[in-house]
Amino acid sequence: MSYPFFKFSPFYAISTLLLFITEVLIALFVHDQFIRPYVGDFLVVILIYCFVKSFLNTPVVPTAFGVLLFAYTVEVLQYFRIVEVLGLQHSRAARIIIGSSFEWLDMLTYTCGILMVILVEKKYTKNKK
């Protein structure tokens, strides 16, 4: 049986909204050396995954790896100072959204976030059957 590629999912849309609110609250009110840099990065890949799944009915693992590849790409672009290359260094929003400093540890937090997505999704689909 074939499933539609484009399919709105209220569950993932609500999850996206809740994660986005959490990320905004972290960005505005948490100024520490752990939650903001690491928990924020861990959650951001989950947020992006949920956003994608809000509109696309795609398999878990390829979607998760696509999001991980996207996160890695953004991190590598930070290494090459993409914000400055694009002339956006004076834009606070660009520096927050795109980021302005490369960190190897961010790659690890993105990976852990995606592994969490896969584990939760596999457990959820296993229990659903």
- Report pLDDT digits (tens) over 59-90: 999 999 999 999 999 999 999 999 999 999 89
Q: Is 19 part of any domain?
A: yes
Q: In the structure, what pLDDT confidence band is assigned to residue 95 with cuts at 50, 70 and 90?
A: confident
- pLDDT band (50, 70, 90) for residue 2: low
- Domains held by the chain: number: 1
Residue 2 lies in a domain: no
Q: Which domain holds residue 79?
A: 10-128
Residue 116 included in any domain: yes
Q: pTM of the entire structure?
A: 0.90
1 assigned to some structural domain: no
Residue 57 counted as domain residue: yes
Instruction: Please write down the HEC assignment for all residues of the chain.
Output: CCCCCECCCHHHHHHHHHHHHHHHHHHHHCCCCCHHHHHHHHHHHHHHHHHHHHHECCCHHHHHHHHHHHHHHHHHHHHCCHHHHCCCCCCHHHHHHCCCCCCHHHHHHHHHHHHHHHHHHHHHHHHHC
